């Protein structure tokens, strides 16, 4: 059996076993083949999305703006993926409570947004996470997450030069899953400081239950290392760790199994991997090895156990770049061991940065050359984002990058310390460090039981391919039970006429795919109350209510940071005082001004006519396309069917600023002097599942219903739509007059460019100006090509006072 703490979720699935004998091997191979077939079918039905977020800085103060660029890619090949048009970004506090939320419009797999950090936030470490609606089907562990620090300089921060008491944890990870007696076992270990989440240095040793020393242990890098030993049956083992300060603590190793499978992976000199599975106490049989890289099958082999071991030889050229999962199945098609292997990516986007100078004065122009190389993929556009900010004691360079996230951390469990190291010049050749990482951070994006028992995949969340989904539920007012089969309508009062309809399903659920919904607006949800009058409506939050089990490092400020915190506070206040008017400048959303029903058959601007004070006079005098009838003191509209020169018998769809009005008496009682425009569709019109015999649409001057009283049974509430794109502002100093401006410029973030497009194989130039703040500044640029080649680059330059 597998140990319960194994980070790979290898789940045992029973199946029929064909024994060996005449033709037994062929039958066995056929049985194993179904594993690969089932796995491939599952992959095709479970498209994986990955989201990466480029944040402009790692540390913020309240009042500053957090800028970000979102990249959405295919989780298998890392190409930009356009399946989702909406991305969700949240800032979570230490209790994983959202304090800021935003919906970001995605176009061809990318989009950008921002948050102004309010003064209501407390100082602390926060998590920024990002995902799409489709990703909610697979759990919060797959969302993008990155810790940031936010300091509220309006409050007195709790500073202390006295460190808190240390708390350490050591974990053991047997290669393949279990420690098995009688054979050589490689066991990886990781020791972290719980306060910081970072690895620590130490020395230790493994002792058996009799106190005999078995082996020495010490981490190789980032608190991670491994030890190899042959355990005895029935023996327990303990690690004794000694920290640099002399403190000691003990930790038992996982249980030793008398029988089982021990896996060992070794790199051979002939560009091969040798995977050996040793068995004890079991009958000889065949084993099956399946290797996949991001669910793309690369290896599918069988081997027979001979003298207690089976060996697989894998050509590394057959493996895709990145992390490959090797899973070993026994004759019963049960997964018994798993191992991760990392192949350094070769197809990366190589970026080069060069400034025209190394040292600049304040308020001086910086010219930056950006060169992109993508090997054989040159002459394609690279989609990039770039931030330029000042380094200080609060913030340093960013450890995570788009290539380290896509190729590494997104496919591993837990927090990876300094993932950028494994893509640096030194880390790319540090095979021991990367292999230790594979041994201690294993993870699967699926459960084997979902594949091998062929359970049909069911998904609760559809991808937002066409636009944002607003979802809710219709229930009975008297019983609270779901109300199926009710036709509902959603509209937002506006000059831009939009209407969406949805019929509640068996669970009373409703869903509207809305278009061009930006910013915070009022929305109205209702049914036709002339037919359905006993129902209650509610809308659901589109944000995920599930959270990954991750812990932020403890937040503590040192007295040594006081000077930089004071400076950041002054910077923020000066920027707000002198440049605050530029904070809320937004790019045009590009909203389609045409109404959802298209161009009207008849259109009337009422100011072009004599204005009447009664709507009945307006309709009878100006609008020949609509026949007004009065029956039993109730008004009815009938639209003239222009194509056939007849009159429809049923009432048309009547709208006021896009909101359906089912009681014509109320629209006839409305003050016509508040109406600017009236449009008529003089033919049958389909919207969703509904057919209407014409449309009569009124638009007020402000598009705000003009005081019209909605039916009290309708749901009207504020709803936050997609973010409008805030424009980044920075002053220019092209002229002597601008340079001599007396307005202080203390920007910490010099430049933010979320939409850089650079053709690979060429050099592009970007420019910006330094501020009045001397110091060392960091340029961080990253992005990817249309073929999924990702890359990043860091450059620093200095700014000093003019001589």
The last residue of one of the domains, among 664, 697, 720, is 720
- Tell me the three state secondary structure of residue 195: coil
Write the CA distances from 775 to 60, 394, 404, 795, integer angstroms: 18, 13, 28, 14
For 60, what's the count of Cα atoms within 13 Å in the CB-facing half-sphere? 26
- Tell me the three state secondary structure of residue 452: helix
| Sequence-ordered list of residues with C-beta below 8 angstroms from that of 187, at least 6 positions apart, any chain | 172, 173, 174, 175, 179, 226, 227, 228, 229, 253
- The pLDDT of residue 453 is 67
Q: Residue 161: pLDDT above 60?
A: no
Answer yes or no: is 31 within a domain.
yes
Query: d(Cα 415, Cα 417) in Å, to the nearest integer?
Result: 6
Determine which helix (DSSP H) or strand (DSSP E) holds 568, and give its type and residue range.
Answer: helix 562-579
Dig out the tokens for 245 from the structure.
């300060």
**What percentage of residues in the chain have a pLDDT greater than 90?**
68
Q: Are residues 525 and 624 in the same domain?
A: no
CATH number at residue 676: 2.170.130
Write the CA distances from 127 to 99, 164, 460, 572, 756, integer angstroms: 10, 22, 26, 22, 26
Q: Are residues 511 and 654 in the same domain?
A: no
Q: Residue 90: pLDDT above 80?
A: yes
SS3 content of the chain, % helix, strand, coil (to 5): 15, 40, 45
Residue 589 pLDDT grade (very low, low, confident, very high; cuts 50, 70, 90)? confident
For 698, what's the count of Cα atoms within 13 Å in the CB-facing half-sphere? 28
Contact criterion met (CB below 8 Å) for 179 and 257: yes
Q: Residue 10: pLDDT above 50?
A: no
Q: What's the mean pLDDT in 685-697? A: 89
| Sequence-ordered list of residues with C-beta below 8 angstroms from that of 531, at least 6 positions apart, any chain | none
Answer yes or no: is 508 within a domain.
yes
- pTM recorded for the entire structure: 0.90
- The pLDDT of residue 228 is 95
- The pLDDT of residue 452 is 67
Query: d(Cα 361, Cα 359) in Å, to the nearest integer?
Result: 7
Q: Residue 54: pLDDT above 50?
A: yes
Q: Where are the alpha helices (DSSP H) in 48-107?
A: none
Q: What's the mean pLDDT in 778-801? A: 95
Q: Are residues 641 and 497 in the same domain?
A: no
Answer yes or no: is 162 within a domain.
no
Determine which helix (DSSP H) or strand (DSSP E) holds 524, and give its type and residue range.
Answer: strand 520-527
- The pLDDT of residue 26 is 40
Query: In 230-320, at which residue ranges do the beta strands (DSSP E only) sit?
Result: 237-242, 248-252, 256-257, 260-267, 272-280, 286-293, 296-304, 309-315
Pairing of strands 690-700, 653-656: parallel
Q: Are residues 625 and 525 in the same domain?
A: no
Q: Are residues 202 and 328 in the same domain?
A: yes
- The pLDDT of residue 707 is 95
- Of 696, 544, 720, 675, nearest in space to 625 by CA: 696
Q: Residue 706: pLDDT above 60?
A: yes
Torsional sign, CA 368, 369, 373, 379:
positive
- The pLDDT of residue 155 is 82
Determine which helix (DSSP H) or strand (DSSP E) holds 576, and give its type and residue range.
Answer: helix 562-579
Residue 29 pLDDT grade (very low, low, confident, very high; cuts 50, 70, 90)? low
Residue 551 phi/psi, 5-degree rounding, is -115, 130
Residue 4 pLDDT grade (very low, low, confident, very high; cuts 50, 70, 90)? very low
Burial class, 100, CB count within 10 angstroms (exposed 0-12 / middle 13-18 / buried 19+): middle
Answer yes or no: is 200 within a domain.
yes
pLDDT, tens only, 317-370: 999 999 999 999 888 888 889 999 999 998 899 999 999 999 999 999 999 999
- The pLDDT of residue 159 is 54
Dig out the tokens for 212 from the structure.
């005999």
Q: Residue 736: pLDDT above 60?
A: yes
Q: Which residue has the tokens 């700014």?
A: 799
Residue 17 pLDDT grade (very low, low, confident, very high; cuts 50, 70, 90)? very low
Q: Which domain holds residue 183?
A: 24-44+167-343
Answer yes or no: is 128 within a domain.
no
Query: d(Cα 637, Cα 619) in Å, to the nearest integer?
Result: 10
- The pLDDT of residue 35 is 79
Answer yes or no: is 511 within a domain.
yes
Q: Are residues 199 and 301 in the same domain?
A: yes
| Least-confidence region, from 20-34, 397-411, 513-527, 734-748 | 20-34
Contact criterion met (CB below 8 Å) for 76 and 295: yes
Contact criterion met (CB below 8 Å) for 309 and 278: yes
Q: Are residues 180 and 322 in the same domain?
A: yes
Q: Are residues 618 and 530 in the same domain?
A: no
- Tell me the three state secondary structure of residue 687: strand
Q: What's the mean pLDDT in 38-61? A: 87
Residue 532 pLDDT grade (very low, low, confident, very high; cuts 50, 70, 90)? confident
Number of separate domains in the chain = 3
- The pLDDT of residue 581 is 86
- Tell me the three state secondary structure of residue 407: helix
**234 or 27, which is more confident:** 234
Q: What's the mean pLDDT in 481-507? A: 95
Dig out the tokens for 790 from the structure.
């990702």
Q: Are residues 172 and 36 in the same domain?
A: yes
pLDDT, tens only, 440-479: 988 666 666 666 666 667 788 999 998 999 999 999 998 9
Residue 116 pLDDT grade (very low, low, confident, very high; cuts 50, 70, 90)? very high
Strand partners, 205: 216, 240
- The pLDDT of residue 7 is 31
Q: What's the mean pLDDT in 652-664? A: 96
Pairing of strands 520-527, 487-491: antiparallel
Query: d(Cα 475, Cα 535) in Å, to the nearest integer?
Result: 6
| Sequence-ordered list of residues with C-beta below 8 angstroms from that of 35, at least 6 positions apart, any chain | 288, 290, 329, 333, 451, 452
- The pLDDT of residue 211 is 93
Residue 105 pLDDT grade (very low, low, confident, very high; cuts 50, 70, 90)? very high
Q: Residue 78: pLDDT above 50?
A: yes
Q: Where are the alpha helices (DSSP H) in 255-410?
A: 402-407
Contact criterion met (CB below 8 Å) for 690 and 652: no
Q: Are residues 515 and 626 in the same domain?
A: no
CATH number at residue 254: 2.60.40.1930
Write the CA distances from 680 to 491, 654, 676, integer angstroms: 18, 10, 14
Residues comprising the chain, all counted: 803
Q: Are residues 302 and 213 in the same domain?
A: yes
The last residue of one of the domains, among 673, 697, 720, is 720
Quick one: CA torsion of 511, 515, 517, 518, rounded to 10 degrees? Answer: 140
Query: d(Cα 39, Cα 13) in Å, to the nearest integer?
Result: 14
Instruction: State the chain's maximal CA–CA distance in angstroms.
Output: 105
pLDDT, tens only, 214-266: 999 999 999 999 999 999 999 999 999 998 888 888 999 999 999 888 999 99
Answer yes or no: is 800 within a domain.
no
Query: d(Cα 366, Cα 561) in Å, to the nearest integer?
Result: 29
Q: Are residues 655 and 534 in the same domain?
A: no
Q: What's the mean pLDDT in 516-544? A: 92
Average pLDDT, the chain: 88
Query: d(Cα 228, Cα 407) in Å, to the nearest integer?
Result: 28
Dig out the tokens for 61 from the structure.
């103060």
Q: Residue 519: pLDDT above 50?
A: yes
| Sequence-ordered list of residues with C-beta below 8 angstroms from that of 16, at least 6 positions apart, any chain | none
Burial class, 411, CB count within 10 angstroms (exposed 0-12 / middle 13-18 / buried 19+): buried
Q: Which residue has the tokens 């005081």?
A: 707
CA 563 to chain centroid, in Å, comes to 35
The last residue of one of the domains, among 720, 746, 775, is 720
Pairing of strands 675-687, 690-700: antiparallel
Answer yes or no: is 636 within a domain.
yes
Residue 9 pLDDT grade (very low, low, confident, very high; cuts 50, 70, 90)? very low
């Amino acid at each position: 059996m597998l140990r319960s703490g194994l980070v790979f979720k290898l789940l045992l699935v029973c199946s029929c076993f064909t024994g060996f004998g005449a033709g037994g091997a062929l039958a066995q191979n056929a049985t194993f083949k179904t594993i690969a077939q089932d796995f491939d079918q599952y992959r095709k039905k479970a498209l994986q999305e990955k989201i990466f977020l480029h944040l402009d800085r790692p540390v913020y103060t309240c009042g500053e703006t957090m800028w970000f660029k979102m990249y959405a890619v295919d989780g298998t090949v890392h190409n930009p993926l356009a399946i989702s048009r909406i991305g969700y970004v949240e800032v979570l506090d230490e209790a994983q409570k959202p304090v800021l939320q935003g919906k970001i419009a995605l176009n061809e797999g990318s989009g950008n947004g921002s948050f102004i950090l309010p003064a209501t936030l407390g100082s602390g470490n926060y998590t920024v996470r990002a995902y799409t609606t489709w990703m909610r089907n697979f759990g919060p562990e797959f969302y993008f997450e990155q810790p940031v620090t936010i300091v509220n300089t309006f409050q007195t921060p709790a500073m202390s030069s006295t460190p808190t008491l240390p708390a350490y944890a050591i974990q053991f990870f047997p290669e393949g899953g279990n420690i098995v007696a009688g054979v050589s076992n490689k066991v990886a270990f990781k020791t972290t400081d719980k306060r910081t989440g970072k690895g620590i240095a130490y020395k230790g040793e493994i002792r058996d239950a009799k106190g005999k020393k078995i082996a020495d242990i010490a981490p190789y890098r980032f608190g991670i290392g491994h030890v190899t030993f042959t355990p005895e049956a029935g023996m327990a083992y303990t690690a004794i760790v000694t920290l640099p300060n002399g403190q000691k603590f003990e930790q038992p190793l996982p249980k030793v199994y008398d029988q089982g499978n021990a896996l060992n992976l070794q790199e051979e000199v002939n560009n091969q991997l040798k995977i050996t599975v040793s068995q004890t106490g079991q009958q000889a049989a065949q084993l099956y090895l399946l290797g996949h890289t991001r669910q793309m099958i690369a290896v599918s082999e069988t081997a027979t156990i001979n003298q207690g071991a089976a060996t697989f030889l894998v050509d590394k050229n057959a493996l895709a770049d990145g992390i490959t999962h090797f899973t070993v199945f026994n004759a019963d098609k049960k997964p018994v061991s798993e191992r991760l292997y990392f192949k350094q990516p070769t197809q990366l986007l190589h970026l080069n940065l060069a400034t025209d100078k190394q040292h600049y004065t304040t308020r001086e122009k910086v010219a930056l050359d950006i060169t992109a190389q993508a090997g054989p993929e040159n002459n394609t556009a690279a989609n990039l984002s770039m931030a330029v900010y000042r380094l200080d004691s609060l913030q340093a360079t960013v450890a995570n990058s788009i290539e380290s996230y896509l190729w590494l951390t997104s496919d591993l469990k837990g927090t990876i310390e300094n993932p950028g190291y494994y893509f640096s010049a030194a880390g790319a050749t540090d095979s021991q460090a990367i292999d230790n990482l594979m041994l201690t951070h294993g993870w699967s994006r699926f459960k084997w039981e979902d594949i091998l028992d062929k359970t049909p995949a069911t998904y609760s969340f559809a991808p937002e391919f066409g636009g944002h989904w607003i979802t809710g539920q219709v229930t009975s007012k008297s019983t609270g039970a779901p109300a199926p089969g009710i036709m509902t309508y959603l509209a937002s009062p506006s000059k831009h006429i939009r209407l969406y309809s949805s019929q509640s399903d068996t669970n009373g659920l409703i869903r509207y795919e809305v278009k061009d919904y930006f910013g915070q607006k009022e929305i109205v949800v209702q049914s036709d109350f002339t037919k359905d009058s006993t129902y209650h409506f509610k809308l659901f939050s589109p944000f995920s209510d599930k959270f990954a089990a991750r812990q932020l490092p403890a937040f503590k400020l040192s007295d040594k940071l006081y000077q930089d915190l004071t400076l950041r506070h002054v910077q923020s206040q000066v920027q707000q005082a002198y440049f605050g008017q530029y904070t809320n400048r937004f790019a045009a959303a590009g909203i389609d001004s045409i109404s959802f029903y298209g161009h009207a058959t008849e259109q009337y601007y009422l100011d072009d006519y004599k204005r009447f004070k009664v709507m009945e006079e307006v309709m009878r005098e100006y609008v020949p396309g609509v026949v007004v009838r009065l029956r039993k003191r109730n008004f009815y509209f009938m639209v003239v069917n222009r194509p056939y020169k007849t009159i429809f018998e049923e009432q048309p769809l009547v709208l006021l600023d896009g909101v359906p009005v089912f009681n014509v008496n109320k629209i006839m009682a409305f003050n016509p002097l508040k109406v600017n425009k009236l449009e008529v569709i003089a033919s049958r019109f389909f919207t969703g599942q509904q057919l209407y015999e014409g449309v009569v649409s009124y638009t007020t001057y402000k598009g705000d219903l003009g005081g019209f009283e909605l039916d009290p049974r309708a749901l009207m509430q504020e709803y936050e739509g997609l973010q409008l794109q805030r424009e980044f502002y920075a002053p220019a100093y092209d002229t002597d007059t601008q340079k001599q401006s007396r307005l202080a410029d203390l920007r910490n973030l010099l430049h933010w460019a979320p939409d850089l497009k650079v053709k690979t194989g060429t050099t592009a130039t970007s420019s910006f100006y330094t501020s009045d703040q001397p110091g060392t500044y960091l340029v961080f640029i990253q992005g990817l090509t249309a073929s999924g080649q990702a890359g990043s680059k860091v450059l620093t330059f200095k700014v000093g006072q003019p001589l």
